[in-house]
Amino acid sequence: MNWKKPFFIVILCVFIVTLVILINNTKEKIVSEEYLFDEMVWERPNIVTLTIQVEKNMLNKPYDLFLELEHTIQIRKDKMLMDMEIIAPNQEERISTYNVWYKNNEGKFKGKSHENFFNLEQLLRKKFEFSQEGTWTFTLQQRSEFQYLQGIKSVQLVVKPSEKTVNNNQEEQ
């Protein structure tokens, strides 16, 4: 009977620590709505528009911007060329071009696989600072040599505080 009390305390402590970790990880990350592609095809003139609502407490703090991409093995190339336009609430614009790498140096798909899909998270911008509160708009356009990029199920933008971001080797390529 004496072993039950210490065992219960250990289990309770593990539960509380796990709960605290889960709460901290979910509240730090800001996610845009998910954009789903019709028939899993991203056609070249199709511009994806995602928005992030920026609150006053987020201003002038460094954030890392990630692209989350869900795709199948139908993708034939190792990478996709993509333009991202960032539009601030006052309509100030910034445009950048990125290589989104699906595969690593060994030719294997990056990211986590589930069923017939891969979830890829690629760092796009480090230490980005929001200068205004309000709705920030992010437009994405695939610029690869193919008119139709098959196998793309969805894209999403994820914003994480920079100091919480671990070294991500995906930006190296």
Tell me the C-alpha distance between 166 and 152, whole Å. 26
> Tokens in use for 115?
């069923």
Would you state the pLDDT for residue 84? 95
Would you state the pLDDT for residue 154? 93
Contact 66, 158 (CB under 8 A): yes
Would you state the pLDDT for residue 16? 61
Half-sphere exposure of residue 74: CA atoms within 13 angstroms, side-chain side: 15
Contact 64, 128 (CB under 8 A): yes
All domains in the chain, ordered by first residue: 30-163 (2.60.120)
Mean pLDDT by groups of 10 residues along the chain of 173 residues: 59 55 56 88 90 92 93 80 95 93 86 86 93 95 86 92 58 39
> Tokens in use for 133?
């509160």
What are the two backbone dihedrals, phi and then psi, of residue 7, each rounded to the nearest 5 degrees? -65, -45
Would you state the pLDDT for residue 94? 93
pTM above 0.85, yes or no: no
